[in-house]
Chains A and B, each alone.
Chain A
């Protein structure tokens, strides 16, 4: 368990690059609720047709453990349903990347062979994604190519 103030400091130090990147690719972010008691922020992605996908980054225990990245609805009352996901991810539904805590077997995800503390290692078919800004970049390009929703 990482003290929340340590996680918050780490997140804030990485957000400079992440927010600059987000702005350059015309994505929207909401970090207004980020605090020691709520280590979450939100990024609104979109595909080339302009469909919006709302991602929640829950960064408890970051950076020792990766964030849990989940798609939610616009007002954040619904989460994890297929229709909230772009159709470029695992149909669990789940973003099957080491940098997503939900993908790990320890958290009930499909990848029992991964360890949470190894989240900065490469996911198959690619190299390591090791920061919040890199996660945003990876998700941005994948979601851009989505042709619609998963369900």
Chain B
């Protein structure tokens, strides 16, 4: 019994180590484990997930439906490449990312 419980805990810990809980500030609000209340998904990712997935999910949560705008994810002033993985940027739990929305130019 004890061995099984330890095994379960080990599996759970392993799963947690492979996932990361992020926060994303957008011009329409903050996205984290609690906000916004009605978010259909939370920013919890496998570390092998691509940055593009976070951008897509943040757009869904805040209804950024305008495809003509340019959406970019920043860590501080570092622009994150959409094709790279989360683990390649060594993002830790609670890291704050910023979704930037850029319009046109006349």
Query: Which A residues are closer than 8 A to B by beta carbons?
Result: 17-18, 20-21, 24-26, 48, 90, 96-99, 103, 110-111, 122-129, 131, 133-134, 136-138, 140-142, 144
Interface of A is mostly: mixed
Whether B76 pairs with A21 at a CB distance below 8 angstroms is no
Whether A126 pairs with B25 at a CB distance below 8 angstroms is no
Whether A144 pairs with B77 at a CB distance below 8 angstroms is yes
Contact A141 to B72, CB < 8 A, known contacts A17-B27, A21-B26, A134-B101: yes
Whether B103 pairs with A24 at a CB distance below 8 angstroms is no
- Roughly how many angstroms separate A112 CA and B28 CA in the complex, as a whole number? 30
Which chain A residues border B66 with CB–CB below 8 Å? 122, 127-128
In the A-B complex, the 8 residue pairs with the smallest Cβ-Cβ separation, listed nearest first, are A126-B104, A127-B66, A125-B104, A126-B103, A127-B69, A133-B27, A127-B68, A24-B25
B74 interface residue per 8 A CB criterion: yes
Contact A103 to B28, CB < 8 A, known contacts A26-B76, A137-B101: no
Closest CB in chain B relative to A93 CB, distance in Å = 14
Cβ contact of A142, chosen from B76, B102, B106, cutoff 8 A: B102
Interface-central residue, A25, A26, A125, A127, by most chain B CB under 10 Å: A127
Closest CB in chain A relative to B76 CB, distance in Å = 7
Q: How large is the interface on B (under 10, 10 to 19, 20 to 34, 35 or more residues)?
A: 20 to 34
Closest CB in chain A relative to B48 CB, distance in Å = 26
Whether A134 pairs with B106 at a CB distance below 8 angstroms is no
Whether A124 pairs with B30 at a CB distance below 8 angstroms is no
Having A21-B25, A124-B106, A127-B103, one finds 9 other A-B pairs with CB under 8 Å, namely A21-B98, A26-B76, A96-B105, A122-B104, A123-B106, A126-B68, A127-B66, A141-B100, A144-B77
